[in-house]
Structure 1
Amino acid sequence: MSAKRAVWILAWIIGLALNAHAQTSDRIVLGYTGSSGIFAGQWIAQEAGLFAKYGIQAEQVLLPGASLMVQAMLGGDVPFASAGGNAAVDANLAGGDFIMVGSLAKVPAFYIMALPEIKSIEDLRGKTVGVTRFGSSTDFTMRYVLKKHGLEPARDVTILQMGDLFAAVAALKTRQIVAAPFSSPANVRAQEAGARVLVNMGKAGLYFPHDAWMARKSFIESRPDLVKRVLMAYSEGVHRLHTDPELSKRTLKKYARVSEPKMVDAVYQYAIDYVDKIPYNTREGIQEVLNQAALKNPKAKSRKPEDFYDDRYVKELEASGFYRKLWGR
C-alpha cells in the first residue's frame, strides 16, 4: 500500500470517528449572564474540551442579567443556564417551574464600593446608589445591606438601574450615583474612579444563591443524565481553575473581556475566592431570598427552600467519589 493511500485511509477513518462522535454527542445551549469571574468554571470547561469529554456539544450564550435569562429559558431558547438564583425564585413564585441543581457561588460575591466621601453605609441616606437591574443579585445585595443598616430602600436611598457594572462605574465618575455593588473586573475600574470598599459581602456571614445552575423541571426530569454530565464537566472546569492558571487566565481574557494583566489577575483571584469547589446549594441562602421576596409577594411566605433546588446530582457525584478524585478529599 502506498504511503499516500495509507494517509487517505487514515484520514477517512478519523473522519468517520469524528462524525460518529458528533452524531452521538448531545447538543445543548448553555447560558450565562455576565462577564464576571464567577462563570470561570463554565468557560474553562468549554475551552478545555471538558463538555465534549462528557459527550456534550455545548454552545455558550451570554444574556446579560438573570431576568433576561429566565425569559429565554421560559421561551425554550436556553434549556440550561447559570444565573442568579433569586431570579429563579421570583419566576417560580410567578408560576414558573425552575429548579437549581448546583451552585456557582453561594454567597453574595460583591464588594459594596462608594466614593471617598461615603465613610459608612449610614452615609448613603439621602443619596443615590446603583444596581444592574431591579430583581438582580446586585439589587438584592444593595437592598439587604441598606436594610441591615436601618435604611429603607427607595425612601431613604434612591436606587437606579445601571444596566451593567461598567455602566455603574461610569455613573460613579459622573457622580450620578455614589455607591454600587461590584464584582471583578468592574471593581478594579471602580477603584480607579476613586471608589473604596465599604463592605466585602463574602465576609458578611450571609448565604445567597449568587449564581446557580438551573433549568426548568421538565428538562431536568427528561434529561437527568445530561444534567449530571454538565455538572461533571463544569466541576472539572472549576478544578482546572485552581490547577491550571495559564489556561484559566487565557480563558478569562476571552470571556471576561479583559486584557490588562492587573485586570486578568483581579478576575482570576476573584474566581478563586468565590467559586464553589463542590456546587451544593444552600437552604439558608434560598430562605434569605424568600424572606426578601415575602416583603412584596405574600406567596413567598408559604414556600419552602426545598421547592426551588435539588442537590441529588451533586450528592450522587460526591457519593461516587467524583469530587474526592478531583480535590483529594
Structure 2
Amino acid sequence: MRIPMGKRLDRARARAFVGLVLIAALFPVRSVWAQTGYEKIAFSIPSRSIAAIDLYVAKERGFFRDEGLDVEIVQIRGNVAVAAALSGQVQATNGIGTVIRAMSRSEIPMKVLTVSLIRNLFWLVARPELKSISQLKGKILGTTTFGGSQHTAATRLIRKGGLDPDKDLTVVVGGDVPAQLQSLVTGAIDVAALSPPTVILARDKFNMNILGSAMDDLANLQNGTAVTEKFLREHRPLLKRILRARAKANRYFFENERGASEVLAKYQNVEFPVALESYRLAKPAFTSNGIPAQKDLEEFLRAEAELLKLKEPVAASKLFDFSLQREVNQELGIK
C-alpha cells in the first residue's frame, strides 16, 4: 500500500501503537529475576542482518549463558521497540538510531550504553531495470521504519544522486530487510537500502542493481544497547553482565572470521560463502570497544541536528552513558 509522504507520521504512530499491543500479547511482562536458573532478558533488534552479529555470537557461543543470562532476541520495528522498552516489554534494544532520534525530539527517559556500529551498513538496491538513481523518480522506496537508520541512509543516497526523496519517491513500510528483498523481487517496491547478507543475495541471486553505499557516508551510530533510565538505575549489575557478554562476543567477532561467519550463516539462513563475504564487507563498520571516537560522535550529532532541523546538536550527555562499558572494557583489557 502506498503512503503519501505527508501522512507517514500519523500512520507510523498508529502502526507503533498496534505493534505494541501485539507485543504485549506475545511477550507478557516478565520479571528478569525469574527463578529459572538464568535471568531472562528480551533484547529487540529492528531487522535480521549482520548488524546484530554480536548478539547472535553471544547467544550461539555461550557468552550470555556464561553470565547467567537467557537472552531472547526479539525482532521489533524501531519505533515500536522504543515503546516496548518504555512499557517494560523488552529490557534492551539494539536499534539505537531510532532511540537517539526519539530522545533528540523529546524527553524520552532512555540512555544508550554501547555503540556497536559507527557506519551505515546499507547499500541502495534497485530492481534490474533501474540502473541509476535518476531513474528512481516516481518509484517506490521500501523501508523498515520511517525516520530510522535505514530510511535515513536511503534518503541521503537518493539526495546525493540528484533527487528529492520527499517529493520524487513514494515511501512505504516494507517489512525488515529480507522481506524488502522479496518485495523487490515481486515488484511491490522498486528500491530499498539493504544490508548484508541480503544485499549480496540481491546482487547474485536476483540480479538487482547496487546504486550506492552508505558505508562511506557520515558517521552513523546505528546499533548498540539502549535501555530505559529506570532499568539502568535499578539493574546496573545485570546490565554490566549483558555488556560483558556482548563485549566478549564482539572480541570473538573481530578475532574469529570463520566462527563469526558460521554463526551469521546459521542465524540468517544463508550459505557460508555469502556469510563470509558479508563479514568481510561489514567488519570495518563495527566498533572494537563499544564506544565511538569523539570525532565520530560529534559528526553524528551535527548530522542528526541537521536532519531533525534542530537549532543545535543535542548534548551527548542527554543521549549516552558509556560508564558501564568503560568498566567492562577495563576488566577485559579491551582498548
Q: Identify the TM-score tier after normalising by the shorter chain.
A: 0.7 to 0.9
Q: Distance in 2 between matches of 1:121 and 1:229?
A: 45
Q: Distance in 1 between matches of 2:36 and 2:129?
A: 60
Q: Distance in 1 between matches of 2:228 and 2:59?
A: 22
Matches within 5 A, 1:77-88: 77-88=89-100
State the shift of 1:216 in Å.
0.7
Q: Distance in 2 between matches of 1:254 and 1:304?
A: 40
Matches within 5 A, 1:195-210: 195-204=208-217, 206-210=218-222
Identity %: 20
CA RMSD, Structure 1 to Structure 2 (Å)? 2.6
Counterpart amino acid of 2:300? G
8 Å CA contact 1:111–1:183 kept in 2: the answer is yes
Q: SS at 1:155's partner residue? A: helix
State the shift of 1:169 in Å.
1.8
Counterpart amino acid of 1:50? F
Q: SS at 2:48's partner residue? A: coil
Matches within 5 A, 1:18-97: 26-54=39-67, 56-91=68-103, 93-97=105-109
Please list the CA deviations of residues 285-312 of structure 1 after superposition, one character each: whole Å capped at 9, or x if unmatched: 2442332122xxx6x7573343111222
Q: Distance in 1 between matches of 2:187 and 2:154?
A: 18
> Normalization by structure 1: what TM-score?
0.79
Q: Which moved more, 1:247-256 or 1:66-75?
A: 247-256
8 Å CA contact 1:33–1:64 kept in 2: the answer is yes
Q: Distance in 1 between matches of 2:80 and 2:266?
A: 22
Q: Which moved more, 1:158-167 or 1:102-111?
A: 158-167
Counterpart amino acid of 1:235? A
CA shift in 2, pair 1:150/1:268, >3 Å = closer
Structure 1 equivalent of residue 192 of structure 2: 180
Counterpart amino acid of 1:207? A
CA shift in 2, pair 1:225/1:284, >3 Å = farther
Please list the CA deviations of residues 98-121 of structure 1 after superposition, one character each: whole Å capped at 9, or x if unmatched: 111111211111111223444433
Name the count of aligned residue pairs. 296
Please list the CA deviations of residues 131-180 of structure 1 after superposition, one character each: whole Å capped at 9, or x if unmatched: 22312221111122233444322312222221122232223223343321
Gaps of 5+ in 2: 1-34
State the shift of 1:93 in Å.
2.5
Structure 2 equivalent of residue 310 of structure 1: 321
CA shift in 2, pair 1:23/1:177, >3 Å = closer
Q: Distance in 2 between matches of 1:91 and 1:148?
A: 27
Q: Distance in 2 between matches of 1:321 and 1:75?
A: 33
Q: Distance in 1 between matches of 2:40 and 2:178?
A: 33
Please list the CA deviations of residues 198-248 of structure 1 after superposition, one character each: whole Å capped at 9, or x if unmatched: 2121123x1111112100111112222332222221111012123334542
Gaps of 5+ in 1: 1-21, 325-329
8 Å CA contact 2:142–2:173 kept in 1: the answer is yes
8 Å CA contact 1:90–1:293 kept in 2: the answer is no
Q: Highest CA radius of gyration, 1 or 2?
A: 1
Is 1:132 aligned to 2:147, yes or no? no
Q: Distance in 2 between matches of 1:312 and 1:148?
A: 37
Structure 2 equivalent of residue 9 of structure 1: none
> Normalization by structure 2: what TM-score?
0.78
Q: Distance in 2 between matches of 1:162 and 1:316?
A: 40
